[in-house]
Amino acid sequence: MTKDERLAAQNECQVLKLLSHPNIIEYYENFLEDKALMIAMEYAPGGTLAEYIQKRCNSLLDEDTILHFFVQILLALHHVHTKLILHRDLKTQNILLDKHQMIVKIGDFGISKILSSKSKAYTVVGTPCYISPELCEGKPYNQKSDIWALGCVLYELTSLKRAFEAGNLPALVLKIMSGTFAPISDRYSPELRHLILSMLNLDPSKRPQLNEIMAHPICIPALLNLYSDIGSVKMRVEKPLASVPAASRVRPASRIPSARSRGGRIGHSPAKPSIPPPLSSVYTWGSGISNPLRLPMLNTEVVQVSAGRTQKAGVTKSGRLIMWEATPVGTGASSLPGSIDHAQPQFISRFLEGQSGVTIKHVSCGDLFTACLTDRGIIMTFGSGSNGCLGHDNFNDVTQPKIVEALLGYEIVHVSCGASHAIAVSNEKEVFSWGRGDNGRLGLGSQDSHNSPQQVNIPQEYEAQKIVCGIDSSMILTVANQLLACGSNRFNKLGLDHILSASEPYSEEQVEEAYTFTPIQSAPLNQEAILCADVGTSHSAVVTALGQCYTFGSNQHGQLGTSVHRNSRVPCLVTALQGLTVTMAACGDAYTVAVGAEGQVFTWGKGARGRLGRRDEGIGIPKIVQLEESHPYVVTSVACCHGNTLLAVKPSLEDISV
């Protein structure tokens, strides 16, 4: 696209986002794909009004049909004008029909003009046959020019041909300036013919306003019929792409269940061979949601999820960033006096705009901010800039993803966000941290905060691979599957205490804070190969190469996986999961989630406000969480933050043939 084409396309996206009306083509989203701007809009299978008129040949439409179409266009244009927007290219080619050719929807806002108190639309734009006389004279474009175009459309409906046509532009302008057009058939009522003539008045001040047209005696019966016959034309309250019917999007090859079905497996119901499984499902619970709630999804596969204090985000297999947002509670009918509303919040999903055509491969959420990692090793952050956690060398908030420019010279392979800090690692094993520095969580040797990335020194014998950031601490998982940690070690939640056996360490062997990344010292963690780790508010969990789950830190609410709420700084093997191969674990504020190789999901710890994904208050013994999956599945990603959990699953390839 040229610069002008790009601006026009971006303008159409901005205009469409402002409009929400049953007679206007609905906008879903825009994104870049292979350097082309893609705009996803509502599909109108009935073609254009121009094609509809052309197929009539010389068979004139009856007046009721004309008015049925006209009042819908009228309502749509009225909505556009109330938003202080001029269409500037209203014509029958831009008016679309539904599959029954009964409902009309106007579209193509590529050259629309959003009015402001200081702007006037002077540019000569639009299809020449529909431009107004004042535009031919170079006068400012206003609402009356759209009404002229509306008159041209109504004339075309009555005559099946354009009001103004000529072999060249000067002749066309001459016809428009003189107001010369063929007379309207006398088969139509004098009121309809007079309405057309009033809209095609050469003097803009003498053309009627839209509300005057709507109050015209000939339009009122048509408007009443429209509301009584069509009723409430279905339209979406929100505009996320998630609300697009799956059938209207291009679907990949169907996934057909195999003839073999194991059935009876823990965590799912037997597969129904007639219903293909979704590409993936994402569940959430906590913050009052007691049972796993399936989030609205697109026909796509989510491969990784992350949760923040207010954010829920995921990365699709195609590299798109998807966000889930809770709709306001209590927007429906009011409850009876004295009643208690237990309704669960509803969520909508949307693709993040401003992704700029890049492919996202990992996302991490902090408190009120988010970091994305692209397939080219670039980090983009957005959200709250407090504490400098966006890494942009300032404390400003950013609404759209913005590149962390200080890291452009490095190829970043992993990034993690804590509550108010972030850490990244490059392909050369370099580590960078920024944000709030309390407790030494940045690993920079002090408690200083930084609003731009600072390189972190780690012991030379260790090579960083992945980062895990918590509320007030951080961990590095090395290439050799060892753990380094820094920050607050309260309750020995980082395993930095010098522990050689199951006995409690002496006070001099206890570490409360570490300002630099230090190898964990607590046995047996210092001797195990660790594949996965996560840090909660006051405890941590790791998964070893043998598939065992260890927890360490506070056990006030049984979050270590033992029914005995003992105060111990010694790491604890979750014995209730022995015999099960654990593949991943995540820690919330006072609870733990573990996932088995067969797709089982276990939770334990504090159960208040639905933290455990079930209705019991919870104890220190792991219990399974039931998901509403009709097909065998595997868990692809799990994330916890405070009291919220996010879990992504997909069909098991062992049971589903592609």
Q: Of residues 542 and 507, which shows the higher confidence score?
A: 542
What are the pLDDT digits (tens) for 117-140? Answer: 334 444 444 567 888 888 887 777
Average pLDDT over residues 554-561: 90
Q: Encoding tokens for residue 179? A: 């107001």
Phi, psi for 231 (deg, rounded to 5):
70, -140
Residue-wise pLDDT for 354-402, tens only, equals 555 688 999 999 999 999 999 889 999 999 999 999 999 999 999 888 8
Residue 185 identity (one-letter amino acid): S
Better-scored residue on pLDDT, 252 or 416: 416
160-192 pLDDT, tens digit per residue, is: 988 888 888 888 888 888 888 888 888 999 999
Instruction: Quickly tell me which residue has 């831009």 as its tokens.
Output: 94
Task: Tell the burial category of 238 from Cβ atoms under 10 Å away from its Cβ (0-12, 13-18, 19+).
Answer: middle
Mean pLDDT of the chain: 82
Angle made by CA atoms 503, 508, 512, in degrees to the nearest 5: 95
- Which tens digit of pLDDT belongs to each residue from 441-479? 999 999 999 999 999 999 999 999 999 999 999 999 999
Q: With contact defined as beta carbons under 8 Å apart, do 474 and 423 qualify?
A: yes
- 387: region left, alpha or beta (phi > 0 left; psi from -120 to 50 alpha): left
Check if the beta carbon of residue 73 is closer than 8 Å to that of residue 153. yes
Residue 651 has a pLDDT of: 85
Q: Which of 426-430, 567-571, 607-611, 616-620 has the lowest mean pLDDT?
A: 616-620
Report the distance separating Cα 498 and Cα 523, nearest Å: 8
**Is residue 567 scored above 80 in pLDDT?**
no
Residue 298 and residue 245 in contact, taking contact as beta carbons nearer than 8 Å: no
Lowest mean pLDDT among 376-380, 624-628, 629-633: 629-633
Cβ atoms of 195 and 218 within 8 Å: the answer is: yes
Q: Which residue has the tokens 């290439």?
A: 479
pLDDT-wise least confident of 66-75, 284-293, 329-338, 436-445: 329-338
User: What pLDDT shows up at residue 154?
Assistant: 93
What confidence category does residue 245 fall into, taking pLDDT thresholds of 50, 70 and 90? very low
- Helices 143-159/190-199 angle, 10° precision: 140
34, 62, 89, 397: which is the annotated catalytic residue? 89
DSSP letter for each residue of 320-385: -EEEEEEPPTT-SSPPPTT----PPPPEEEEEPS--TTPPEEEEEE-SSEEEEEETTS-EEEEE--
Average pLDDT over residues 573-597: 93
Residue 263 has pLDDT above 70, yes or no: no
Q: Is 490 helix (H, G, I), strand (E, B) or coil?
A: helix
Q: How confident is the model at residue 546 (pLDDT cuts 50, 70, 90)?
A: very high
H or E element at residue 516: strand 513-519
| Residue 522, pLDDT above cutoff 90 | yes
pLDDT value at 104 more than 80: yes
Distance CA(528)–CA(570), nearest Å, equals 15
Q: How many Cβ atoms from other residues are within 10 Å of residue 216's Cβ?
A: 18
Task: Dump pLDDT digits (tens) for 197-242.
Answer: 999 999 988 999 999 999 999 999 888 888 776 555 544 444 444 3
Q: What's the pLDDT score for residue 249? A: 36
> How far apart, in Å, are the Cα atoms of 248 and each of 68, 89, 251, 298?
27, 27, 9, 11
CA dist 540 and 492 (Å) reads: 9
Distance CA 304, CA 323 (A): 12
Q: Is residue 655 very low, low, confident or very high in pLDDT (cuts 50, 70, 90)?
A: very low
Using CA of residue 537, residue 539, residue 545, residue 549, what is the dihedral sign?
A: negative
Question: Coil, strand, or helix at residue 440?
Answer: helix
CATH superfamily of the 3-230 domain = Transferase(Phosphotransferase) domain 1 (1.10.510.10)
Query: Which pLDDT score is estimated for 243?
Result: 38
Asked whether 351 and 321 are in contact (CB, 8 A), the reply is yes
CA distance 241 to 610: 29
Q: Is 375 annotated as catalytic? A: no
Helices (H), 118-219: 133-136, 143-159, 169-178, 190-199, 210-214
Between CA 419 and CA 31 the distance in angstroms is 30
Phi-psi region of 356 (alpha: psi -120 to 50; beta: other; left: phi over 0): left
DSSP 594-623: EEETTS-EEEEE--GGGTTSSSS---SS-E
Strand partners, 347: 326
Contact 133/147 with Cβ under 8 angstroms? no
Strand partners, 634: 650
Rounded to whole angstroms, the Cα distance separating 637 from 416 reads: 15
Q: Which helix (H) or strand (E) holds 532?
A: strand 530-535
In this prediction, residue 585 has a pLDDT band, given cuts at 50, 70 and 90, of very high
pTM for the structure as a whole: 0.59
Q: pLDDT grade, residue 94 (50/70/90)?
A: confident
Q: What is the mean pLDDT of residues 638-646?
A: 93
Closest by CA to 602, choosing from 655, 545, 549, is 549
In the predicted structure, residue 291 carries a pLDDT above the cut 50: yes
pLDDT of 262 strictly over 90: no
**DSSP structure string for 68-86:** HHHHHHHHHHHHHHHTTEE
pLDDT at 266 over 70: no
**pLDDT value at residue 122:** 42
Longest dimension (CA), the chain: 104
Overall average pLDDT of the 547-571 stretch: 86
User: Do the beta carbons of residue 420 and residue 366 sit within 8 Å?
Assistant: yes
Please, which pLDDT band fits residue 111 given cuts at 50, 70 and 90?
Answer: low
- The pLDDT score that the predictor gives to residue 619 is 72
Ranges assigned E (strand) in 420-499:
421-426, 431-435, 450-456, 464-469, 473-478, 483-488
Bridge partners of 294, per DSSP, are: 283
The strand pairing partners of 312, in sequence order, are 307, 324
d(CA 213, CA 208): 6
**Residue 72, pLDDT score:** 93
SS3 content of the chain, % helix, strand, coil (to 5): 20, 30, 50
